[in-house]
Amino acid sequence: MKIIAMITALLLTSGVAQAAETLSVSPYPATALWKKITDRHDGQLTWIEWIPADQAVDDIHDILTEQILPTQKGTRAADFMTGFFKRIYAACTGLSVNGPNNRTEDGYDVAYGQAYCVGQKGAGKDVDIFLKVISGHDALYVVQREFRRPAVPGAVAGKRGFSGPDAKQEAEASLAAQQVANDFLVSQVKLCTDNTCVPAAAPTAQPSAASAPVDKNDVSSSFGFEPGKTTANEVSDKLGRPSRQTKVPDGRHSYMYIGLKGLIVNFLFGKDDILIRTIAFSDPGR
């Protein structure tokens, strides 16, 4: 069940944008890439969901939801998160929250928070939710990481108990997974413009495309592409099939290549399939 995702009508994507903004979400850190199970785009909402490759849709334990909400343009990030917490309160037997915690990142209003829901009504789940909300100029952007598990009778929201011979290891694994979620939202979820989200580290050589190093200040030229001229077909012909593809209702779409010269590289195209810009950032799996 898509608990909070259903309640907020959550959203989208890695590399999709409104106007000069692009929401960049790295692949979630894992041994194997996560798989996409939801891909919805319309005038009100862009919503994509990812789960680990070894989990089934009817038994989800981990999920990443990415959203773009153009109808929420102008909403303060903290106000949206406060409303989110109020909405999910009725869905849980017990709820504990942290946040909203406000920040400014790259000039954007950002809020972080966590919600710990026990006894999700109608689903029999306890759910830990880690949330990042970014208030952009053209939309509100929400990225949400959920940990789901069978509900424990009498559980107290925000306090999880462990028992048995493996209790210590299970507690340590749970804390480590939550730390990964926190770090991911902070460092790998960004709202980019033409001059942001450039690589944070020098690239490593890859056996694909050209072998020349990537120029952080001119990523397109590093691959021999020219914004305003290069087509989507020319990019895929040279680099192969992209790792991920996304699109927005106005016709724009993007190709994301993971591990390309040690980077995650995102190519944004207009509705005419002509390259608008290229954004690259460090591959967290390297």
Look at residue 7 and give its three-state secondary structure. helix
Which one is the CATH code of 3-192: 3.30.1050.10, 3.40.50.1580, 3.40.1000.10, 2.40.10.10?
3.40.1000.10
At 196 the pLDDT is 57
Q: Are strands 16-18 and 21-25 parallel, antiparallel or unpaired?
A: antiparallel
- Per-residue buried b or exposed e for 167-195, using 16+ beta carbons within 10 Å of the residue's own CB: eeeeeeeeeeeeebbeebbeebbbbbbee
Distance of CA 70 to the CA centre of its chain: 17
- CA 143/CA 115 separation, integer angstroms: 14
- What integer pLDDT is reported at residue 75 of this predicted model? 97
**Tokens linked to 5:** 């995702």
In this structure, what token pair is assigned to residue 59?
Answer: 């038994």
Regarding pTM above 0.75, the answer is: no
What pLDDT score was predicted for residue 286? 47
Of 138, 134, 4, the residue nearest 70 (C-alpha) = 138
CA 210 to CA 215: how far, in whole Å? 13
- Let me know if 82 is exposed, middle or buried by CB neighbors in 10 A (0-12, 13-18, 19+): middle
Query: Taking the domains of the chain in order of start, what are their residue ranges?
Result: 3-192, 219-282
Tens-of-pLDDT digits for all 286 residues of the chain?
444 444 444 333 344 433 468 888 888 888 778 899 998 888 788 899 999 999 999 999 999 999 999 999 999 999 999 999 999 999 999 999 999 999 999 899 999 999 999 999 989 999 999 999 999 998 999 999 999 999 999 999 988 888 888 888 888 888 889 989 999 999 889 988 755 564 333 333 333 333 344 554 456 777 788 889 999 989 988 888 777 777 665 677 888 777 676 677 778 888 899 998 887 766 544 4
Query: Given this model, what pLDDT does residue 142 score?
Result: 97
Phi, psi angle pair for 233, to nearest 5°: -65, -35
pLDDT of 67: 95
| CB neighbour list of residue 172: distance below 8 Å, 6 or more residues apart | none
